[in-house]
Amino acid sequence: MEFLRPATWEEALAAKADVPGAVPLQGGTDVMVEINFDVRRPAALLDLGAITSLSDWEVAADGRVRVGAAVPYARIITELGDRLPGLAQASRTVGSPQIRNRGSVGGNLGAASPAGDSHPPLLAGDAVIEAESAAGGVRMIPADTFYTGVKRNALRPDELIRAFWMSPATGPQYFSKVGTRNAMVIAVCSFAVALHPRERRAGTGLGSAAPTPRRARAAEDFLAAELDWDGAAPLTGPLLARFGELAAEAASPIDDVRGTAAYRRHAVAVMARRTLGWAWNDYRERVASCA
């Protein structure tokens, strides 16, 4: 197996152009497991570990946060929890401290597992993925169009993920995950909601409930029409129930070792109701404190 270790981003792009089959290696928490278990034996590994700029994050001129592909979950929790609370919550549920120290959102995006925990908050928060190739330059891919199939994404063979972009939260964000136990667990299913009060709308993301992570668009449209943004009136039971139903209708889950399709649909509805309830309560407190 060839082992490529570029020192710069430009060298990495050149190497990916030369050897499109080279498998990028960031934290290695997916790649090394697959190699150790003989799930794949790539002809070449492209180790991105020497490119320190991938581990930086910054607030860009337009106010959005640009987070390098290699920033590990542990730093998203400690350094970005105030700006990206939904993603930080999801990051807290990933693996163990060791996995959170090495694993990255860039790697989660590269793997594009329907069960990856970063995907629902990225979808709910309108994240955009910055991909780049030597020949094509930079391509900004909305999270919404990034996931193309089971463990497949919109990257071209010569492209690498450089960063992802998200606006800092302007409203409450929540993530919920059902697993077969409390920690070190792949999601049976998961759900994220992000309130965007300035735009009078809410974003959603479903995980492990369809071939790809996806938004519950009809549920989002329902909230945009029904939520009382100005009065911040309490949510009614029927509103919560309908939101849960619409979220569950967006799922197209399968039966597998972790859970049945019917259980997943049910759990998505429950998580949707709960996360919206938590987010709306926070929103009401903020509105009340400003009155």
Rule CB under 6 A: which residues touch ligand FAD?
Answer: 23-31, 33, 48, 69, 93-95, 99, 102-104, 106-108, 110-111, 116-117, 155, 160-161, 184
In the block, which residue shows the tokens 């259980």?
Answer: 263
Distances (CA, A) of 196 to 202, 210, 220: 5, 25, 11
Burial of 54 (0-12, 13-18, 19+ CB in 10 A): buried
Using DSSP, state whether 162 is helix, strand or coil. Answer: strand
Nearest distance in Å: CB 284, ligand FAD: 31
47 and 54 in contact (C-beta within 8 Å)?
Answer: no
Phi, psi for 121 (deg, rounded to 5):
-70, -30
Nearest distance in Å: CB 62, ligand FAD: 23
Comparison of 93 and 167: residue with beta carbon closer to ligand FAD: 93
Comparison of 69 and 216: residue with beta carbon closer to ligand FAD: 69
Nearest distance in Å: CB 101, ligand FAD: 10
Comparison of 131 and 235: residue with beta carbon closer to ligand FAD: 131
Comparison of 93 and 212: residue with beta carbon closer to ligand FAD: 93
111 and 119 in contact (C-beta within 8 Å)?
Answer: no
Q: What is the pairing mode between strands 173-178 and 128-133?
A: unpaired
Comparison of 95 and 121: residue with beta carbon closer to ligand FAD: 95
Nearest distance in Å: CB 286, ligand FAD: 30
Comparison of 162 and 265: residue with beta carbon closer to ligand FAD: 162
Tell me the two tokens of residue 15: 């190497």
Tell me the two tokens of residue 69: 């592909």
Tell me the two tokens of residue 47: 């180790």
175 and 92 in contact (C-beta within 8 Å)?
Answer: no
Nearest distance in Å: CB 285, ligand FAD: 30
Report the C-alpha gap between 159 and 155 in whole angstroms.
6
Nearest distance in Å: CB 107, ligand FAD: 2
CA 65 to the chain's CA centroid: 15
Q: What is the pairing mode between strands 65-68 and 160-166?
A: antiparallel
Report the C-alpha gap between 263 and 14 in whole angstroms.
46
Nearest distance in Å: CB 98, ligand FAD: 8
Comparison of 186 and 218: residue with beta carbon closer to ligand FAD: 186
Residue 37: other Cβ atoms inside 10 A: 8
Residue 43: other Cβ atoms inside 10 A: 10
Comparison of 22 and 232: residue with beta carbon closer to ligand FAD: 22
Nearest distance in Å: CB 218, ligand FAD: 26
